[in-house]
Structure 1
């Protein structure tokens, strides 16, 4: 199954391998540069079905650090378009971008909050910092929440104009959207807080706004944290219910990760530790899902698909170590996979 095509709207992926979005912390003023061109271009030469560009801020305060990527202006989008064009012209990979806002987890470096002078005042649904030693974030007003929805919409428009095949909305890992979803970080009393329906409203409004900018040639994914590993917090059943609603709002795939919103949460980490969350969301909500989390081997990835735990396999650290995991896996499994014609002399024959 790893080398079976799959289609989302009109976007056909040649295989089920996905390069998971991973921050590179290498931008100035949110701008992609030569490093990013080589980084993403090289992974496209490895046969990966879909590459997703790292968390990209929809406004300056949406970044995690001063060196994170942005797409809040046209110049940033033009830099990204060069990467998109290379991938399309020199591989069979599709390429997506993850639109993000860090919320209260922004203005940091090396996982520590930096000063307002070096960084910025963070924002959040409620005046609750991620860590007790951090500054209290600015509570977004109702109007400011709606402005953030528009920031995602404008970013999606730029992403489409740049030629991206997939737009992924980052609703996981304790960033702004996740902060709204969780009753532990969202204690609002307006239309964006309180009940489950109110807490998911921000994300649903973003999904609808982004979909207005998309067409059948650009698919929409949403990344969520299946659970935040905290009592009375966001959990897997909440994720299943959310996924059902996302499906109704024309989301093509739910990318299921976990954690990130509660400082000090106890997480048992092992190979494939997040796969059960993907499986439960897929099978109980009836949506396509992506599995992620210490997936390092071809056999492991194939088993996830064969068991019906996911439709796509998102690989992170392993694809940093080995950009050619997809094509090498095809050699092992005697399957067809893109391999640059310039490298044919190194191809392993069946």
Structure 2
């Protein structure tokens, strides 16, 4: 029996298979006006196609908890009720296809206020719909990015509250899984790593202090997220730095901490917090980091990173390296990857009646 197409139950939610869609920014929301940050026809079509293709869990792109928490002016957000109503259309359709709808809650920190990737992804100033980024320390990500404003204690508490408010809205919008984005050099990751966090107060310095903001966010979200619904946390398991960075050992330690705070699965990625580093990218290159967490804790994990082939994905799960796989670019290329993989493995997966001729 295929490991890839076994259901997985976390708390009160059963995900029908282990083929999941990773969050991928589409940079397609309206940048200003009443539709700012609101999902539109593009987002519906993009997510609905992968649900019709048999994907077990779909996580939205990084969805900002505040306007200044967006990576770009074109990102999705969930800071107002109009956004909630637009998301309901998406979650209803995903659920109708047997797919579990999930949302990734995010704040971009010092990597905020940038252009769309196909326009170069450079920083945007106020004259180009940009804004002043916020961060744990006033350290720019690289030479292109602006120097962010260091957060005050009051601002930190406000952002923690914004994550909780976003989780409440996500529940109202029909999401069954919430994921906190603590990876890729965005705000929570910036607090975790000594590379980007040079604070000398209770939010900086020691491991305990640098992880405080992340724990505060998790606690605030878990307090409003129903006990029968799972909470995920996405982490960059390493900064890929030889020194003065977040490490794989830190990740294993933190995974155990997160579990005690009510996190149900760790979504294990890497990198994004330090510019100019060399990352040995290749098929499944991040899977060993997920495997380390799984071996060192009892927290379920999902693996991501150049997972493209059916046999590759099946082997990751069969070997016990992860509990699920998250596909990104491969699902952009092939929205029905799950259906094709099920056929190869002799497994069952949801097929819409309208597509019965494809079986």
Q: TM-score range by the shorter chain?
A: over 0.9
Among 275, 294, 297, the alignment partner of 1:263 is 275
Quick one: distance in 2 between partners of 1:26 and 1:217?
A: 32
1:147-192 deviation digits (Å, cap 9, x = unpaired): 1000000000000111101000000000000000000110111111
Quick one: distance in 2 between partners of 1:64 and 1:105?
A: 6
Does 2:263 correspond to 1:251? Answer: yes
- Tell me the CA shift for residue 79 of structure 1: 0.5
Which position in structure 1 is the counterpart of 2:221? 210
Where 1:194 maps in the other structure, the secondary structure is coil
Q: Is the 8 A contact 2:197 2:210 kept in 1?
A: yes
1:223-269 deviation digits (Å, cap 9, x = unpaired): 00010111220010000010000011110000000000001011111
Quick one: distance in 1 between partners of 2:189 and 2:72?
A: 18
The 10-residue stretch of structure 1 (337-346 or 22-31) with the greater mean CA deviation from structure 2? 337-346
TM-score after normalising by structure 2: 0.95
Does 2:114 correspond to 1:108? Answer: yes
- Tell me the CA shift for residue 111 of structure 1: 2.3
Does 2:191 correspond to 1:180? Answer: yes
The 10-residue stretch of structure 1 (73-82 or 215-224) with the greater mean CA deviation from structure 2? 215-224
Residues 314-333 of structure 1 aligned to structure 2 (within 5 Å): 314-333=326-345
Quick one: distance in 1 between partners of 2:171 and 2:199?
A: 33
Quick one: distance in 1 between partners of 2:144 and 2:121?
A: 13
Does 2:77 correspond to 1:65? Answer: no
- Tell me the CA shift for residue 212 of structure 1: 1.1
Q: Is the 8 A contact 1:174 1:260 kept in 2?
A: yes
Which position in structure 2 is the counterpart of 1:19? 21
Quick one: distance in 2 between partners of 1:127 and 1:326?
A: 44
Residues 25-104 of structure 1 aligned to structure 2 (within 5 Å): 25-28=27-30, 29-89=36-96, 91-104=97-110
Q: Is the 8 A contact 2:111 2:145 kept in 1?
A: no
Gaps of 5+ in 1: none
Among 123, 132, 135, the alignment partner of 2:134 is 123
Runs of 4 or more consecutive aligned structure 1 residues displaced over 4 Å after TM superposition:
none
Which position in structure 2 is the counterpart of 1:195? 206
Where 1:112 maps in the other structure, the secondary structure is coil
TM-score after normalising by structure 1: 0.97
- Tell me the CA shift for residue 114 of structure 1: 1.3
- Tell me the CA shift for residue 217 of structure 1: 3.7
Q: Is the 8 A contact 1:99 1:167 kept in 2?
A: yes
Where 2:127 maps in the other structure, the secondary structure is coil
Residues 127-142 of structure 1 aligned to structure 2 (within 5 Å): 127-142=138-153
Quick one: distance in 2 between partners of 1:63 and 1:288?
A: 29
Does 2:345 correspond to 1:343? Answer: no
Q: Is the 8 A contact 1:160 1:213 kept in 2?
A: no
1:275-299 deviation digits (Å, cap 9, x = unpaired): 0000001111221000000000110
Quick one: distance in 2 between partners of 1:132 and 1:343?
A: 50
- Tell me the CA shift for residue 323 of structure 1: 0.6
Structural RMSD (CA): 0.8
- Tell me the CA shift for residue 116 of structure 1: 2.7
